[in-house]
Amino acid sequence: MKVVAADSANPTAEASGRRSLADRLRLRFASGDLGLIPVIIALVVIWIVFELVNSHFLTGRNISNLILQSVEIGLLGIGETFILLLGEIDLSIAAVSGVAAAILVLLSSAGLNPWLAIVASLAAGAVLGVFQGVWVTLVGVPAFIVTLAGSLGYQGFLLAMLGDAGTVPIENSTLLGLATTYVSGVYAWILALLGVLVYLWALMQRRAARLRFELDRVPDLGSIGARVIALAVVSALIVLALNTYRGIPVAGLVLIVLIVIFSFVTQSTRFGRHVYALGGHREAARRAGIRVKHVRIAVFTLAGVFGAAGGIMGASRLGSASPASGGGNLLLDSIAAAVIGGTSLFGGRGSVWNALAGALVIGSVENGMDLLSAPSSTKYLVEGGILLVAVTIDTLTRRRRAKAGR
């Protein structure tokens, strides 16, 4: 009987644990698994270019505005990410945000408690999401058609609610405070430190879990240290800049907290694994015993809730709701945020963090163009080009993964 030492029972995991960061990057590039690396590089390039062109871009005031601009796109992007993970698409999420904003403002104007108005708006988003999920799942109409019809119908709801009143301002200080409250000074530094410590804890937990279950691709301590140091440096620079203005916007913290929570949901819960399984191969997921219909309806419901959350934050930032709420290029921005961030259009691959990365890219481009007083035509051309590049990268990455047998 051959005795195998415990620490060498899994040579693959052991070898993976010894690989350097450079080796890991080469392997990931060869297999097409680049994660957020291209997006981070693109974001750095965009910030450098706009700072060189306009020295106000990286000031505390402008970074604060950039964060607030990105919150609504990021929230809608999270909802769209869940839909894309199924291999579907939601063309109504921006219209849902407009309906939620109108409900929030009208209920607040009628004297309802602001927190109850927020709950009612989120509930409305959930109802619209359930409706679409049931129609897609049980009736069998393609999501593209159902959500396109929903987008048109919800715009009708919005006009019916606000048509006579037009733009309705928010007068409640609590609702306005969602986008005008900041954490500054030493409290901002404490929050940044807590964020870095939580990130370190999460990386160490992931490493311990992979070692415990003898999986490959075990992060080595050197790469963990490099990631934590990089996050600490970036966090310190951002806090330094933001403290020169008003501090960290609470709206941005809400977005980060939601991303952390739902990143855990997708990566570490049964529901999250089922979402990825459905996006990867629906029939295989059904045969594995996954309740396909329940998961699909739940995902559309989540998208509706995130659409409503984005509408609430958008209304708070603008201080009003109008028949134009949820309009413009918000829908395309939310889809672009998910795709540019790295979520695959083909389903089964992506992360909630992709929505944040993509929202920052879109928000940075729009913010920088506004500082340069660029015409709308230029903004649309640049954003369209970025989206095309992102989808092209996704397609090529999918081919690389297929060739690598992943």
3-class DSSP string for 47-95: HHHHHHHCCCCCCHHHHHHHHHHHHHHHHHHHHHHHHHHCCCCCCCHHH
Q: CA-CA distance, 272 to 319, in Å (whole number)?
A: 35
Number of C-beta neighbours around residue 129 at 10 A: 29
| Predicted TM-score (pTM) of this structure | 0.89
> Degrees (nearest 5) of the Cα angle 384, 82, 198?
100
Residue by residue, pLDDT tens for the chain (406 residues) are: 444 443 434 444 444 444 555 566 565 555 555 667 778 888 888 999 999 999 999 999 999 999 999 999 999 999 999 999 999 999 999 999 999 999 999 999 999 999 999 999 999 999 999 999 999 999 999 999 999 999 999 999 999 998 766 889 999 999 999 999 999 999 999 999 999 999 999 999 988 888 888 777 788 888 899 999 999 999 999 999 999 999 999 999 999 999 999 999 998 899 999 999 998 888 888 888 899 999 999 999 999 999 999 999 999 999 999 998 998 889 989 998 998 888 888 888 888 998 999 999 999 998 999 898 888 888 888 888 888 887 787 777 767 766 665 5
pLDDT score at 19: 52
**Where do the domains of the chain lie, and which CATH numbers do they carry?**
34-184+246-394 (1.10.3470)
Question: At 302, is the secondary structure helix, strand, or coil?
Answer: helix
Question: At 222, is the secondary structure helix, strand, or coil?
Answer: helix
pLDDT score at 391: 79
